[in-house]
Chains A and B, each alone.
Chain A
Amino acid sequence: MSRHHRRKQRFKLSSFYVWHRYMGVSAAVFMLIVAVTGLLLNHTEDFQFDSEQIQSDWILDWYGIKAPDTMRTFLAGDRHVTLMGEHLYLNRREIEGNYRQLVGAILFKDTFIVAMSHSILLLTRRGELIEQLQDKDGVPADIKQIGIDTDGAVMVRTSHGYYQPDTDFISWKRRDENFTGVRWATPSLLETRLKTALQHHYRGEVLPVERVILDLHSGRFFGRLGPWLFDAAAVLLVLLSLSGGWIWLKRRR
Chain B
Amino acid sequence: MLRKLLFLLIPALLCTTLLAEAVYQEPDDFLRETFSGKVPEPAVIWLSGERKQFAKQLLGHRYPSLRVRYWRQNRRSAWVLEEIGKDLPITIGLVINDGLLEQIKVLVFRESRGWEIRHPFFTDQFKDARLDEDNTLDRDIDGISGATLSVRAVKKMATLALFLDAELRKQDVAPSP
List chain A positions with a Cβ less than 8 A from chain B: 96-97, 124, 128-132, 136-137, 168, 170-171
Q: Which residues of B contact A170 (CB under 8 A)?
A: 41-44, 69
**Which of A128, A129, A131, A171 contacts B41 (CB under 8 A)?**
A171
Instruction: Give per-residue flags for B8-51: 1 if the beta carbon is below 8 A from chain A beta carbons, else 0.
Output: 00000000000000000001100000000000011110000000
How far apart are B78's CB and chain A's nearest CB, in angstroms?
Answer: 13
B65 and A130 form a contact (CB under 8 A): yes
Contacts of B42 in A (CB 8 A): 137, 170-171
The distance from the CB of A217 to the nearest CB of chain B, in whole angstroms, is 21
Query: Could you write out 24 A-B pairs with CB less than 8 Å apart?
Result: A97-B64, A124-B66, A128-B66, A129-B64, A129-B65, A129-B66, A130-B65, A130-B66, A130-B67, A131-B65, A131-B67, A132-B65, A136-B27, A136-B28, A137-B42, A137-B69, A168-B44, A170-B41, A170-B42, A170-B43, A170-B44, A170-B69, A171-B41, A171-B42
What is the minimal beta-carbon distance from B55 to any residue of chain A, in angstroms? 13
- Smallest CB-CB separation from B80: which chain A residue? A136
A-facing residues in B69-83 (Cβ within 8 Å): 69
C-alpha spacing A128/B62, complex, angstroms: 10
Residues of B within 8 A of A168 (CB): 44
CA A96 – CA B66 in complex, angstroms? 13
Complex-state Cα separation, A129 to B67, whole angstroms: 9
The chain B residue sitting closest to A136, CB to CB, is B27
Residue of A nearest to B26 (CB): A136
Interface size class of B (residues with CB under 8 A): 10 to 19
Closest to B68 in A: A131
Question: From A133, which residue of chain B is reached at the shortest CB distance?
Answer: B69
* Bound complex: CA A154 to CA B43 (Å): 20
A5 vs B67: C-alpha distance when bound (angstroms):
89
Chain B: CB-nearest residue to A166: B41
Once the chains are docked, how many angstroms separate the CA of A96 from the CA of B61? 13
User: Closest residue to A132 on the B side, CB-wise?
Assistant: B65
Q: Looking across the interface, which residue of chain B has its beta carbon closest to that of A168? A: B44
Q: Which of A96, A128, A129, A131 contacts B44 (CB 8 A)?
A: A131
Residues of chain B within 8 A (CB-CB) of A137 are 42, 69
Task: Report yes or no: A96 in contact with B27, Cβ–Cβ below 8 A.
Answer: no
The chain B residue with its CB closest to the CB of A124 is B66
**Which residues of B131-171 have CB atoms within 8 Å of chain A's CB atoms?**
none
Docked CA distance A131–B42 (Å): 14
Which residues of the partner chain A approach B28 to less than 8 Å between Cβ atoms? 136
**What distance in Å separates the Cβ of A31 from its nearest Cβ neighbour in chain B?**
30
Assembled-state Cα–Cα distance A137/B124 (Å): 29
Pairs A-B, 9 closest by C-beta atoms:
A130-B66, A131-B65, A129-B65, A131-B67, A130-B67, A136-B27, A170-B42, A128-B66, A129-B64
Q: How far is the CA of A132 from the CA of B63 in the complex (A)?
A: 12
**Which residues from A are CB-within-8-Å of B65?**
129-132
Name the distance in Å between B94's Cβ and chain A's nearest Cβ: 16
Does B67 lie within 8 Å of A96, measured CB to CB?
Answer: no
CB distance from A214 to the nearest CB of B (A): 16
Contacts of B43 in A (CB 8 A): 170
Chain B residues closer than 8 Å to A128, beta-carbon distance = 66
Contacts of A129 in B (CB 8 A): 64-66
Select from chain A the residue with minimum beta-carbon distance to B43: A170
Bound complex: CA of A97 vs CA of B65, how far in Å?
A: 11
- Name the distance in Å between B73's Cβ and chain A's nearest Cβ: 16
Q: Does A131 lie within 8 Å of B27, measured CB to CB?
A: no
New contact pairs (19) apart from A97-B64, A129-B64, CB-CB < 8 Å? A96-B64, A124-B66, A129-B65, A129-B66, A130-B65, A130-B67, A131-B44, A131-B65, A131-B67, A132-B65, A136-B27, A136-B28, A137-B69, A168-B44, A170-B41, A170-B42, A170-B44, A170-B69, A171-B42
> Given the complex, which residues of A lie within 8 Å of B66, measured CB to CB?
124, 128-131
Residues from chain A with a CB closer than 8 A to the CB of B69 are 131, 137, 170
